[in-house]
Structure 1
């Protein structure tokens, strides 16, 4: 089993002086921590230069300089639905990242904040997705709008938006398909949902949220690129994350695509979701 970056970073200081080899090993540790090689080299080059110029060799000082470099690559964001309007948050992501569960967690979170929430089962080709969302809706007391298996996914969003408007506005969390192995069909499907959602939501009330598995490493960047190119992405949600996860993909996505992070999911329960806090995330990534 791979160790976390925090542990690998700590190990670098055990019996090693701060020389060229130290920074080479740090680069390797960052790559092992799921950061892209290009960015890992870039960060280590900058860090080595800073340490040389400031004559830094102390572990805590090196750690602080690394934190500063990483903090420029990630940022948090917050979405607040507008009262009395139709707000649509479209959930994106490949199958297996925890998208449907994340949709339920986010729906519960906003319901607890006093929002009127509807979930739209727009992944109509994977029967389990509709059933799963309906199960979540039942448990959470949140209405789920779904159509029969294989029907037009954008029609589900259309109906959810009509219902939402008729009831004085609210928030629609729309789950979508994520079959990347059939990319062309998926892209067309998502673009159609995107058009309908953009038409039906009130101005400025449509957001696209990409769900990324915190343990998938560099695949996460590729996924973010695919969805950004296809329909655009406003923010990401990290799933399957805990303090032992490697999590470096967040920095690569932040640096390459400038995407902010909305939430971090830390477990299976509905309440295992929290707003993204860059400082806390970096602290956990590097270690105390």
Structure 2
């Protein structure tokens, strides 16, 4: 692929998958019109739904999902790599995965990734979330080759687990992807600094499409979609929480250059954790 133009699509998904798919299509077409050949949408592109009974009615298998069908058609129509940051997919066992899908310019599924880390937290002001009550966590990190460029996959809360990104970088990922629906509270505190840290410590580009604003189901997300270079510089930002598109040029050679200047991926060493008496407690490291 060499140098290419990437886009992050910022959305404000509601509770109707059909309406969200239509909104997604308009924004993806806008991104392609700006020259993007890789386009990423945010976490939960298909629907943002808190109520359990509503989720049971709305979430369907991959072959019946309107966002998947729309993305497949769009990727082929526009000749782009289209990365659905995630949508809720009902698995064959009846459980629901928070799943990312990457489509080729022919509309084929190149890779899928199920979110590993569940957002089970208790925040200030009574804000509490239990993602594990609705979704089955994934168990596999995923990278995928896109015309000579390797992407590493993550979704939202995964951002707080640097070992996932390090594993993908060691596997050759030059672009790390973090589609998200960060809450406003956590986004204001940590969104920018965590994304820049993942870029810097891995010498990789980071593309992070976000949900933003007040959603139909009552939650509020931070927005501020970002594209960051391997030196931690912000190349593009949606500095608001409204739907929109940002684009930036991705040059994989910059990842190699950053890793050449600070070769921390190569310099990492295994080590042990010891107690005060020098007794080994556990082994850790690369």
Give the TM-score taking structure 2 as reference length: 0.33
Larger strand proportion of the pair: 2
Give the TM-score taking structure 1 as reference length: 0.33
Larger helix proportion of the pair: 1
Structure 1 or 2, whichever has the larger Rg, is 1
Greater relative CO, 1 or 2 (CA 8 Å, sep 6+): 1
